[in-house]
Structure 1
């Protein structure tokens, strides 16, 4: 993914001087016993859990999605999904 972003930055002359960052919560219902933050297939799994939901729904489990884009065209340059109780 890094090579794709670097290639796009060079090819389309995307400015890397300033970025915009935004996060949102993705709410979920149901049981997610395997999504407990433990290691799965060599990678740390997300912890789907209760947190301070931006929709004011403390009754729902969630994860946090963070997206960083360039300031000159909102080209995505980085993303991250984190545990639902991340502040």
Structure 2
């Protein structure tokens, strides 16, 4: 599995989701949207930690990769999702 492809796929989905939440905040439900932004920030932190760990050959990289694979699996029906992104692949 390409680490870069997984990172780029998941980061793009987070960007799309964040844009949708920001639209929601501007148009209707700021309280709901703020909680969603907090969750997105948390998921981005896990992704960033994985990217840094991979770059530095950190021993935490395999565990973080698995976490990102599980988080990215949420987007399993997206046209750009690849089977190789699935946990355990």
Q: TM-score normalised to the size of structure 1?
A: 0.22
Structure having the higher strand fraction is 1
Q: TM-score normalised to the size of structure 2?
A: 0.22
Larger radius of gyration: 1
